[in-house]
């Protein structure tokens, strides 16, 4: 699908980029910190539906003169060049669509949305308006994630026919808005599952998923023995799925917020010429899985002159990389250059279609088809 961007209405080169933040909860702080580290950004204001929250947020950063709003439209009326959409998952689509329709470029937090239908609404608004819509998967900027992608994309592995990915936490159910269905829409799947999917699919090149057979459950979140807010918990805390792609690739996916296990397994890429194993990074810390930009050791398996060898791939130092700031900078640079979107819906719509399919398959207790209409 070709990407079509309309150039910015006002030439933004050599002038400050005017940026706003929609939704001023937890992650909005990381966005604001990253924006304030950029020399070419001016904060035009922030909005949040909770009265007083945007004001307190701006004041926290010393932005006492920047206006705050409860109504996003009033922020958009200031015609910022771009906004970060940092609301909880169920309102990503409405906020992102409204911004693009108001002529504003959007950096939307992950996951893209909750349902495939919502993601389609966002994609159509992007196509209609020509604005930049990028989805905030910052682990992509990790030097080792990039290295894994380079190895796989180099062709060294031959045809890749199977990928296993996922991860999880032995005890890592978050609180707040993440566990309420009406706000988060989906649980573990939307929180870290979308990262696992992006790690796998960005590496092999996003391909069209056609079917999924999955289960999603809530055995830990709903159990007061393991989670102290069990009564409020209304989303998934575990899911596993087998996803088939149009070209024959199969993805074996697992993700968990809590379990009696150290890790859900390593990430594996099986190819006709070689295989790549990405070990889970920190199982001993109860936080295992190559999904968040921190990865364990990497091994390449292949035949060398008739010998089956296992090669340890040296990791790159990630000390100096600030993945979050890189994703924000990439968004700003895309605004300046007029695109393309750094992490476009043309890729992430498949991620969202899989999450949507996992939920539908789990509810139907059978394999379901993934159908993405023409956008």
Ligand X SMILES: NC(=O)c1ccc[n+]([C@@H]2O[C@H](COP(=O)([O-])OP(=O)(O)OC[C@H]3O[C@@H](n4cnc5c(N)ncnc54)[C@H](O)[C@@H]3O)[C@@H](O)[C@H]2O)c1
| Contact residues: ligand X, CB under 6 A | 22-28, 47-50, 53, 72, 86-89, 91, 95, 109-110, 136, 138, 176-177, 191
Ranges of beta strands (E only) in the chain are 17-22, 41-47, 68-69, 82-85, 105-109, 133-136, 160-169, 209-217, 238-245, 250-256, 267-271, 274-278, 287-289, 298-304, 307-313, 368-369
CB of 197 to ligand X, least distance (A): 14
Query: Using a CB cutoff of 8 Å and minimum separation of 24, what contacts does 237-241 make?
Result: 237/173, 237/187, 237/188, 238/168, 238/188, 239/188, 239/189, 239/193, 239/214, 239/215, 239/358, 239/362, 240/166, 240/214, 240/215, 241/212, 241/213, 241/214, 241/215, 241/354, 241/357, 241/358, 241/361
Among candidate residues 255, 231, 257, 236, the one with its CA nearest the CA of residue 173:
257
* C-alpha span between 63 and 50 (Å, rounded): 19
CB of 49 to ligand X, least distance (A): 4
With contact defined as beta carbons under 8 Å apart, do 375 and 126 qualify?
no
CB of 157 to ligand X, least distance (A): 29
Residues 6+ apart with CB under 8 A from 319: none
CB of 149 to ligand X, least distance (A): 19
> C-alpha 243: how far from its chain's center?
18
CB of 195 to ligand X, least distance (A): 9
Residues 6+ apart with CB under 8 A from 337: none
Residue 24 or 361: the one with the smaller Cβ distance to ligand X is 24
CB of 98 to ligand X, least distance (A): 9
Residue 155 or 176: the one with the smaller Cβ distance to ligand X is 176
Pairing relationship of beta strands 287-289 and 274-278 according to DSSP bridges: unpaired
* C-alpha span between 21 and 46 (Å, rounded): 5
Record the tokens describing residue 134, joined without a space: 């990028």
CB of 272 to ligand X, least distance (A): 35
CB of 370 to ligand X, least distance (A): 22
CB of 165 to ligand X, least distance (A): 18
CB of 33 to ligand X, least distance (A): 12
ω into residue 111 within 30 of 0, thus cis? yes
* C-alpha span between 215 and 317 (Å, rounded): 37
Q: Which residue is nearest to ligand X (CB)?
A: 25
Residue 87 or 202: the one with the smaller Cβ distance to ligand X is 87
**Three-point CA angle 104, 108, 113, nearest 5°:** 120
Give how far Cα 252 sits from Cα of 89, 145, 166, 220, Å.
Answer: 25, 19, 8, 22
Residue 211 or 282: the one with the smaller Cβ distance to ligand X is 282
Residue 12 or 66: the one with the smaller Cβ distance to ligand X is 66
């Amino acid at each position: 699908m070709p990407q079509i961007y309309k150039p910015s209405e006002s030439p933004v080169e050599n002038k400050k980029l005017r940026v706003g933040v929609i939704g001023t909860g937890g992650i909005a702080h990381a966005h604001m910190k990253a924006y304030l580290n950029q020399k070419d950004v001016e904060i035009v204001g922030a909005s949040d539906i909770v009265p007083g929250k945007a004001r307190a947020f701006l004041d926290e950063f010393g932005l006492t003169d920047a206006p705050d709003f409860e109504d996003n439209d009033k922020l958009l009326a200031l015609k910022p060049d771009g906004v970060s959409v940092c609301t909880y998952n169920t309102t990503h689509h409405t906020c992102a669509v409204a911004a693009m329709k108001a002529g504003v470029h959007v950096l939307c937090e992950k996951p893209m949305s909750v349902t495939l239908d919502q993601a389609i609404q966002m994609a159509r608004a992007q196509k209609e308006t020509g604005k930049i819509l990028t989805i905030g998967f910052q682990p992509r900027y990790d030097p080792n994630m990039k290295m894994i992608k380079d190895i796989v994309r180099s062709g060294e592995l031959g045809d890749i026919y199977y990928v296993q990915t996922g991860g999880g936490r032995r005890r890592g159910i978050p609180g707040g808005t993440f566990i309420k269905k009406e706000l988060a829409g989906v649980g573990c799947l939307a929180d870290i599952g979308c990262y696992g999917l992006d790690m796998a699919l960005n590496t092999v090149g996003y391909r069209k998923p056609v079917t999924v057979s999955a289960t999603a459950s809530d055995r830990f979140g709903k159990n007061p023995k393991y989670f102290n807010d069990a009564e409020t918990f209304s989303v998934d805390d575990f899911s596993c799925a087998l996803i088939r792609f149009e070209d024959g690739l199969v993805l074996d996916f697992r993700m968990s917020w809590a379990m009696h296990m150290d890790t859900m397994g390593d990430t594996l890429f099986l190819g006709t010429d070689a295989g790549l194993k990405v070990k889970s990074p920190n199982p001993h810390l109860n936080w295992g899985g190559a999904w968040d930009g921190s990865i364990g050791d990497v091994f390449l398996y292949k035949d060398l002159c008739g010998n089956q060898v296992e090669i340890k791939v040296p990791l790159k130092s990630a000390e100096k990389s600030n993945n979050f700031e890189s994703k924000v900078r990439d968004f700003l640079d895309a605004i300046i250059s007029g695109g393309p979107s750094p992490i476009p819906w043309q890729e992430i719509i498949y991620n969202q279609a899989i999450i949507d399919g996992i939920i539908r398959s789990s509810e139907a207790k059978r394999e379901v088809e993934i159908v993405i209409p023409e956008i």
